[in-house]
Structures are given as C-alpha cells and as structure tokens.
C-alpha cells in the first residue's frame, strides 16, 4: 500500500515557487479579454479554456498550467482531465504544486479534481523500474489555493482514489501473482487496516459448507479456491441500521475450462474485476465509516483445465440445494455467484443485495464499452443505482428480467442449466440464472460490467483496469 497524497490549504501565493494548476472555464476563441492569473496573461487565440486543452507558461519562478474545462463539465470528465495532467505532466511537478480552486466549484467538483490528481500517480508498469510519482513522495504536499477549507471533501476524495488505486493494482497484476490466495490475503490485510471482519473458507471448509457450484469451477486449478466473507459493522450499530449484501465474481483467470476460449483469453486476468470492485468498496465503506452494515462475499477461484476439471454435461449440486446441469464450463462466473448469493441470503439475510461481475460478452455486444448492464425487479433500487452511476460517470442501463426468458435456463435432467446454448440474450439468461438463486429477494440487483471494468484509454498502451464499480457501489450505499 502506497503513501497517500497529502494536501494543505493556502490563502495566497506569496513566496510560492513551483507548479500552479489553474482550472479555467471556457470563454470563446475570439474573446478580446485574455485569461489572466497571477500576473500571467493568455490571449484567447492561444488558449480560451476549451475542454481537454491546456497551456503551459513559465513566469515568476512558477510553471503555470492553465487547464481547460469547457463551459460545463461532469464529474467523470473533470476527474479524467486532472488524472491526465497528473500522469502526463509528471516530470513538471517539483516539490511544490498549488491547485487553484475556482470559487464556483461545488464540493463534488473539488472531489473529482483531487481524486483525479491522485489517480494520475498510477503506473501500469508493475514489473518495470519506474520512478515514483512526485505526489507520493514523503515530503510532498499539494497546496490548495482557496478561501474555503475543503479538508473534509479532500480527505474523502483521497480515500475514494486510494480504494480505486488498490483495485487498479489487483486487476492489472498478472494471474501468476493474483491467485485466489492472494485475494484472500489482501482481504485479511485490508480488514485489519480499515476495520472489517474477514472469514475465509478454503477447499475443505467450502466442501463442508456445501458450496458445490463454487468448488466445481475451481477443481481444475492447482490454486486452491477461497470463499471470502467480509463483514463491516458501523460504530453506532442498532436494529434500524440498513444491512447491504454485496457479491463479486473473483475468477482470477478464466481459460473457459474444457470449453476453452478460442479468443480473448489474454485479458482474462480481469475476470475478477467484479470481485475487486467489492474489495475496493469494502475498503472505502470502512475508510469512510459509513453508518450501514455491509456483508460482502467474493468467491475466488481459477477456471483452469486439467484432469480434475468439471465437464460439460456434468450435473452439480449448489449450496442452495438446487442441481445445475453444466452446458458450458465457460459460463462459470454465474456458478460461483449462485453459491455466493445463496450463502449470503441464508446466513446473513441482508435487506439489499447487489452482485457485480464481468459476466457476459453479451453485455459488451449490447452496450459496447460505455455502461454496465443492470438487472433488477425493484424499481427504487434501479433508479438509485442509475442515479448514483450517472453522478460519477459509472453508468448503468437496465435490461429486462421477464419470465419469458426463464425457458433459457430450464433443464431436462436438473433443476436448472447454466447456459441457454443460444447465441442471443446471453446477459439476460445469465441474470435469470442468478435470479433463480436469490430466493425471490425483493431488493436484489445484478450488474454485468464486462464492457466497462477493463479496456482501452489514454493511460496505457494495452488494455487495463478502470476500477469501475468501487465508487458506484459506495455512492449507491450512501444514497440508500
């Protein structure tokens, strides 16, 4: 765990020398009035605050970086702009950096900027010799030039980015490092540091508990599966405290099993991104000391291939007591989630449940890389999840759970089958499968984040983690 970025508030720039970050709302290209700050004047022909532009000028022993925000800006774009400045101007940052906080900034905008600057310290080159970002040095302090003390907002912004950085690490590290055991150890350490209880069921304990669907998936790997159970109880717990259940898919690598993948296997280290989002959310919930009870389960396993691997056409027993016919061993995420959901509902009885998983290519086929697929029969939960996502740029869009899709998971030989065998409605039939194991829970939602948890952006040459879901889950819990 890295050093956190530190900040202080200053009232003026007297005696300051270093880098000054100056966010600027857009004027227009033919404006006769230049943008002025700290005795530096920038004509509109050169820079007028257009979104995604910036302008550097050195004067008075200071490097001034004017940062264009456009006329209006949302949370996600603001965060990305400042992450870009932090990451791409890394060499410019001396020991002193000041951020000018515009008077019209809301608390959410301050949060987005600080989070973005801290996220810019992330380097995907885990096995390369690279210099630490200046923001992470022991003696570094980011100065906030502001009349208002934003200490509370800044502290929250740093906690959000800190949880997201942890999850970028988990998802981007290779599968020979991030095994199920690595994740269970991470959970134990995080629980000790932030204040939540962790229980781990290894192979024998899972067998004793009857987690048959979960164990079937992990059978073909030499790495022992780990069923991770986390409990956060707030300081002022009482009978009225809301109780939320989270379940995340923790497949540390997915070969497809005996139905081996014919494409896209390279990126399957990201198949635990739903589980990672739950881990990050638990860290952040405990770090923010939210006044809610949270029970989270992340079944962690590797879907591998050897003589012990489960077969297509096997019939396996689940924790719920329902039998499952295996049509496709590559539809494994829903099997571990089924046991996770059943275990959570039977033993902990939370009022609200959200499961999150990189579950189907079908969700990517529907939405591309713009939003996650949302499934729920509870309209209030649907609205809250979508509003929470819209506020921070982690979007969700609802797909149906109509009963006409039930036939996709009906089996002749078992209670239910794990795959429809059809090339259509894959995300929906997967959600119907999960719904089967929710005991008709009245406030359950399933998030399929296959298209948004891992992908391309400007911060690395290859596909990498986004930490999607960490902030979304926490924002949803805050809004309940």
DSSP state of 250: E
Q: What does the alpha-carbon distance between residue 313 and residue 437 come to, in Å, rounded to a whole number? A: 20
Backbone angles phi, psi at 452, to 5 degrees: -120, -5
Among residues 201, 225, 469, the alpha carbon closest in space to that of 357 is found at: 469
Q: What does the alpha-carbon distance between residue 65 and residue 58 come to, in Å, rounded to a whole number? A: 9
Q: What does the alpha-carbon distance between residue 57 and residue 273 come to, in Å, rounded to a whole number? A: 41
Among residues 74, 31, 83, 75, the alpha carbon closest in space to that of 54 is found at: 83
Q: What does the alpha-carbon distance between residue 437 and residue 430 come to, in Å, rounded to a whole number? A: 12
Q: Which residues are within 8 A (CB) of 39 and not within 5 positions of it... i.e. 6 or more apart?
A: 59, 60
Q: Per the residue annotation, which of 269, 293, 334, 417 is the catalytic one?
A: 334
The residue assigned the tokens 């532009």 is: 53
The separation between CA 46 and the C-alpha centre of its own chain, rounded to angstroms, equals 38
Q: What does the alpha-carbon distance between residue 466 and residue 270 come to, in Å, rounded to a whole number? A: 10
Q: Which residues are within 8 A (CB) of 208 and not within 5 positions of it... i.e. 6 or more apart?
A: none
Biggest CA–CA distance in the chain, Å, is 79
Q: Which residues are within 8 A (CB) of 276 and not within 5 positions of it... i.e. 6 or more apart?
A: 167, 170, 171, 248, 250, 465, 467
- Whether the CB-CB separation of 395 and 451 falls below 8 Å is answered with no
Give the pairing type, strands 62-68 and 54-59.
antiparallel
Q: Per the residue annotation, which of 4, 242, 261, 463 is the catalytic one?
A: 261
Backbone angles phi, psi at 319, to 5 degrees: -60, -35
Is 83 in the active site? no
Is 84 in the active site? no
Backbone angles phi, psi at 76, to 5 degrees: -65, -45
* Terminal C-alpha separation, the chain: 30
Instruction: Give the CB-side neighbour count of residue 315, counting CA atoms within 13 A.
Output: 9
Give the pairing type, strands 416-417 and 372-376.
unpaired
Among residues 119, 99, 146, 50, the alpha carbon closest in space to that of 393 is found at: 119
Q: Where do the DSSP E strands lie in 304-395? A: 315-317, 323-325, 352-357, 372-376
- Whether the CB-CB separation of 57 and 12 falls below 8 Å is answered with no
Name the residues annotated as catalytic.
Answer: 261, 334
């Amino acid at each position: 765990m890295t050093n956190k970025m530190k900040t202080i508030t200053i009232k003026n720039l007297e005696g300051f020398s270093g880098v000054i970050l100056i966010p600027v709302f857009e004027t227009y290209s033919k404006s006769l009035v230049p943008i002025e700050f700290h005795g530096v004047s920038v004509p509109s022909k050169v820079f007028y605050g257009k979104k995604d532009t910036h302008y550097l000028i050195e004067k008075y022993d200071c490097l001034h970086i004017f940062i264009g925000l456009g006329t209006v800006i949302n949370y996600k774009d603001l965060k990305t702009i400042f992450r870009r400045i932090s990451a791409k101007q890394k060499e410019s940052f001396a020991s002193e950096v000041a951020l000018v906080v515009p008077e019209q900034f809301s608390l959410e905008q301050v949060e987005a900027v600080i989070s973005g600057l801290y996220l810019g310290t992330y380097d995907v080159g885990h096995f390369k010799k690279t210099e630490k970002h200046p923001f992470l040095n022991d003696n570094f302090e980011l100065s906030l030039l502001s009349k208002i003390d934003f200490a509370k907002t800044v502290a929250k912004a740093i906690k959000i980015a800190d949880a997201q950085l942890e999850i970028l690490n988990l998802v981007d590290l290779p599968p020979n490092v991030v095994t199920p055991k690595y994740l269970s150890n991470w959970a134990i350490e995080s629980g000790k540091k932030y204040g939540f209880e962790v229980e781990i069921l290894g192979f024998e304990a899972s067998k004793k508990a009857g987690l048959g669907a979960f164990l079937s998936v992990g059978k073909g790997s030499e790495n022992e599966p780990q069923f991770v159970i986390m409990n956060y109880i707030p300081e002022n717990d009482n009978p009225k405290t809301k109780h939320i259940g989270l379940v995340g898919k923790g497949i540390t690598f997915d070969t497809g099993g005996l139905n081996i993948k014919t494409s896209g296997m390279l990126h399957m280290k990201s198949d635990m991104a739903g589980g990672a989002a739950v881990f990050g959310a638990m860290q952040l919930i405990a770090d923010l000391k939210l006044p809610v009870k949270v029970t989270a389960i992340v079944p962690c396993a590797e879907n591998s291939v050897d003589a012990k691997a489960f077969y297509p056409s096997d019939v396996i027993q689940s924790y719920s007591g329902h039998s499952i016919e295996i049509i496709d061993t590559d539809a494994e995420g829903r099997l571990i989630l089924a046991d996770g959901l059943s275990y959570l509902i039977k033993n902990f009885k939370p009022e609200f449940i959200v499961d999150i998983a990189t579950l189907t290519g079908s969700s990517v086929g529907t939405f591309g890389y713009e939003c996650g697929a949302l499934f729920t029969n509870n309209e209030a939960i649907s609205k809250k999840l979508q509003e929470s996502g819209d506020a921070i740029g982690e979007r969700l869009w609802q797909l149906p759970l109509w009963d006409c899709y039930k036939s996709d998971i009906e089996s002749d030989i078992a209670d239910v089958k794990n795959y429809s065998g059809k090339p259509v409605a894959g995300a929906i039939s997967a959600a119907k499968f999960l719904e089967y194991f929710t005991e008709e829970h009245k406030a359950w939602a399933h998030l399929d984040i296959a298209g948004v948890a891992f992908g391309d952006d400007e911060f690395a040459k290859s596909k990498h983690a986004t930490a999607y879901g960490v902030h979304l889950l926490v924002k949803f819990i805050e809004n309940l």
